[in-house]
Amino acid sequence: MPTSQFDSALLTPLPEGRKPRRDDEFLCVIDSINARGTGVGNWGEYRARIPGAVPGSTVLAQVVKRRRDRLDSRILELREASPDAVAPRCAHFESCGGCSFQGIAYARQLELMGELARRELAPVLALSGADVVEPVLGCESAWNYRNKMDFTFSNRRWVEESEPEGMDRDFALGLHSRGRYDKVLAVGRCDIQFEAGNGILMSASKLAREMDLAPWDTREHVGLLRHLVLRHGAHTGEIMVYLVTSRAGEDVTRYAEALLAAHPEITTFVHGVNDGRASVATSECESVLYGPGMICERLEELTFEISATSFFQTNTLQAERLMGVIREEAAVQSNEVLLDLYCGAGVIGLLLAKDAREVVGLEREPSSIRDAIRNAKRNGVENIRFVAGEVESVWSEDSGLPKPDICIVDPPRAGLHPKVIKTLLQLSPPRLVYVSCNLAAAARDLTPLLESGYELQRVRPVDLFPHTPHLEGVLTLVHRHPRGDD
Ligand X SMILES: C[S@@+](CC[C@H](N)C(=O)[O-])C[C@H]1O[C@@H](n2cnc3c(N)ncnc32)[C@H](O)[C@@H]1O
Active site residues: 437
Let me know: does 256 contact 222? Beta carbons within 8 Å: no
* Count of other CB atoms within 10 angstroms of residue 251: 16
Q: Does 410 bind ligand X (CB under 6 A)?
A: yes
* Count of other CB atoms within 10 angstroms of residue 129: 9
| CB of 185 vs ligand X, minimal distance in Å | 27
Residue 267 phi/psi, 5-degree rounding, is -100, -20
Q: Does 120 bind ligand X (CB under 6 A)?
A: no
**Nearer to ligand X among residue 216 and residue 342 (C-beta):** 342
**Nearer to ligand X among residue 121 and residue 408 (C-beta):** 408
What distance in Å separates the CA atoms of residue 308 and residue 286, rounded to the nearest whole number? 8
Q: Does 412 bind ligand X (CB under 6 A)?
A: yes
Q: Does 330 bind ligand X (CB under 6 A)?
A: no
| CB of 366 vs ligand X, minimal distance in Å | 10
**Nearer to ligand X among residue 120 and residue 371 (C-beta):** 371
Q: Which stretch binds ligand X (CB under 6 A): 85-93, 166-174, 356-364, 377-385?
A: 356-364
Q: How far apart are the first and last CA of the chain?
A: 46
3-state secondary structure labels for all residues of 89-126: CCCCHHHHCCCCCCCECHHHHHHHHHHHHHHHCHHHHH
**Nearer to ligand X among residue 276 and residue 412 (C-beta):** 412
Q: Which stretch binds ligand X (CB under 6 A): 20-28, 157-165, 389-397, 450-458?
A: 389-397
Q: Does 350 bind ligand X (CB under 6 A)?
A: no
Q: Which stretch binds ligand X (CB under 6 A): 17-25, 203-211, 221-229, 358-366?
A: 358-366
Cα–Cα distances in Å, from 181 out to 96, 167, 186?
Answer: 11, 21, 14
Please give the residues from 266 up to 325 whose contact with ligand X meets the rule CB under 6 A.
Answer: 311, 313
| CB of 431 vs ligand X, minimal distance in Å | 17
Q: Which stretch binds ligand X (CB under 6 A): 53-61, 201-209, 248-256, 340-348?
A: 340-348
What residue is closest to ligand X based on CB?
Answer: 344
Compose the 359-388 pattern: x for residues touching ligand X by CB under 6 A, - for all others. ---xxxx--x--------------------
Q: Does 342 bind ligand X (CB under 6 A)?
A: yes
Applying CB under 6 A, which of residues 56, 103, 272, 344 lies at the interface with ligand X? 344
Total site size for ligand X, rule CB under 6 A: 20
3-state helix, strand, coil in the chain (%, to 5): 25, 30, 45
The separation between CA 313 and the C-alpha centre of its own chain, rounded to angstroms, equals 9
Compose the 422-461 pattern: x for residues touching ligand X by CB under 6 A, - for all others. ---------------x------------------------
**Nearer to ligand X among residue 217 and residue 358 (C-beta):** 358
Q: Which stretch binds ligand X (CB under 6 A): 115-123, 217-225, 410-418, 471-479?
A: 410-418
What distance in Å separates the CA atoms of residue 300 and residue 482, rounded to the nearest whole number? 32
Q: Which stretch binds ligand X (CB under 6 A): 31-39, 88-96, 297-305, 337-345?
A: 337-345
What distance in Å separates the CA atoms of residue 395 and residue 481, rounded to the nearest whole number? 23
Length of the chain, please? 486
**Nearer to ligand X among residue 132 and residue 394 (C-beta):** 394
Residue 287 makes CB contacts below 8 A (sequence gap 6+) with 248, 270, 271, 272
What distance in Å separates the CA atoms of residue 113 and residue 124, rounded to the nearest whole number? 17
Q: Does 391 bind ligand X (CB under 6 A)?
A: yes
**Nearer to ligand X among residue 187 and residue 391 (C-beta):** 391
Q: Does 390 bind ligand X (CB under 6 A)?
A: yes
Q: At what angle do helices 106-120 and 439-450 cross, to 10 degrees?
A: 40
Best CA proximity match to 83, nearest among 102, 99, 104, 113: 104
The CA-based diameter of the chain, rounded to the nearest angstrom, is 76
What distance in Å separates the CA atoms of residue 425 and residue 448, rounded to the nearest whole number? 9
What distance in Å separates the CA atoms of residue 47 and residue 45, rounded to the nearest whole number? 7
Q: Which residues pair with 462 in a beta bridge?
A: 137, 472
**Nearer to ligand X among residue 410 and residue 463 (C-beta):** 410
Q: Does 199 bind ligand X (CB under 6 A)?
A: no
Applying CB under 6 A, which of residues 142, 306, 332, 343 lies at the interface with ligand X? 343
Q: Does 415 bind ligand X (CB under 6 A)?
A: no
Cα–Cα distances in Å, from 283 out to 113, 172, 175?
Answer: 35, 21, 19
**Nearer to ligand X among residue 177 and residue 368 (C-beta):** 368
Type of residue numbered 80: E
Q: Does 347 bind ligand X (CB under 6 A)?
A: yes
Given the rule CB under 6 A, which residues bind ligand X? 311, 313, 342-345, 347-348, 362-365, 368, 390-392, 410-412, 437
